[in-house]
Amino acid sequence: MSDRTRDAAAAPVRRRTDRRCVFASLTVAAALYAADQLAKLWVVHTLVPGREYPVVPGLLWWEHIRNSGAAFSLGSGLTWVFTLVMAAVVVGILWLLRRVRDPWWAVALGLVLGGAGGNLTDRLLRDPGFGRGHVVDFIAVPHFAIFNVADCGVVVGIALVLLLLLTDRDMEGTRES
């Protein structure tokens, strides 16, 4: 047996896609998406818009608002742009999942995918119309924007992506040199 044949036989065979990681990522995304949509359904049918409902007095309350913009209601006149950006994020993550072989990357991308999908659903299906819908936000804390479950998933997912990048861990589960 030649050296080249022996090296090829000893090298681990890497599949292009790790189905377990794809499944894990899609499971995380689906769970976050479901939690977000169920919470928003509860908010829309239970909470009066603009009224505060204390959860932990002075620290946390529910307040039903409709957000046409991004974080902190920035860009409220550009709702359709946010719809396109979120659609691109969803498509981009689905495309990236074929490369993921690291479980932590799978979780991180699943969180961002579920959150982007939750807010994209609002943009597509809520008033005032398709592609211009306002996102349902309801989690309020002092001196900060009012947000939702999807936003939490996106923030935690992005933080995890940054941590993975800072520790030189690539999507294939190896450390970059």
Distances 7 to 11, 12, 174, 176 between C-alpha atoms, Å = 6, 10, 20, 22
| For residues 149-170, average pLDDT | 96
| CA-to-CA dists, residue 54 to 46, 62, 66, 138, 142, angstroms | 14, 6, 19, 12, 12
Residue 15 binned pLDDT confidence (cut-offs 50, 70, 90): low
Segment 42-84, tens digit of pLDDT: 999 999 999 999 999 999 999 999 998 776 566 667 778 888 9
Please count the CA atoms within 13 angstroms of the CA of 108 that sit on its side-chain side. Answer: 18
Q: Are 110 and 29 in contact (CB under 8 A)?
A: yes
- Dist CA 32 CA 111 (whole Å): 7
**Can you give the pLDDT at residue 69?**
72
Token digits for 61? 């309350």
Is residue 29 classed as helix, strand or coil in its secondary structure? helix
pTM of the model: 0.86
Helix 79-96 / helix 103-125 crossing angle, nearest 10 deg: 150
More reliable by pLDDT, 82 or 14: 82
Task: Give the pLDDT score at 103.
Answer: 96
Q: How confident is the model at residue 125 (pLDDT cuts 50, 70, 90)?
A: very high
Give Cβ neighbours of residue 40 (< 8 Å, ≥ 6 apart): 118, 122, 136, 138, 148, 149
Find out whether the peptide bond into 128 is cis, omega within 30 degrees of 0: yes
In a 13 Å sphere around the CA of 147, the CA atoms on its Cβ side amount to 17
Catalytic sites, residue numbers: 137, 151
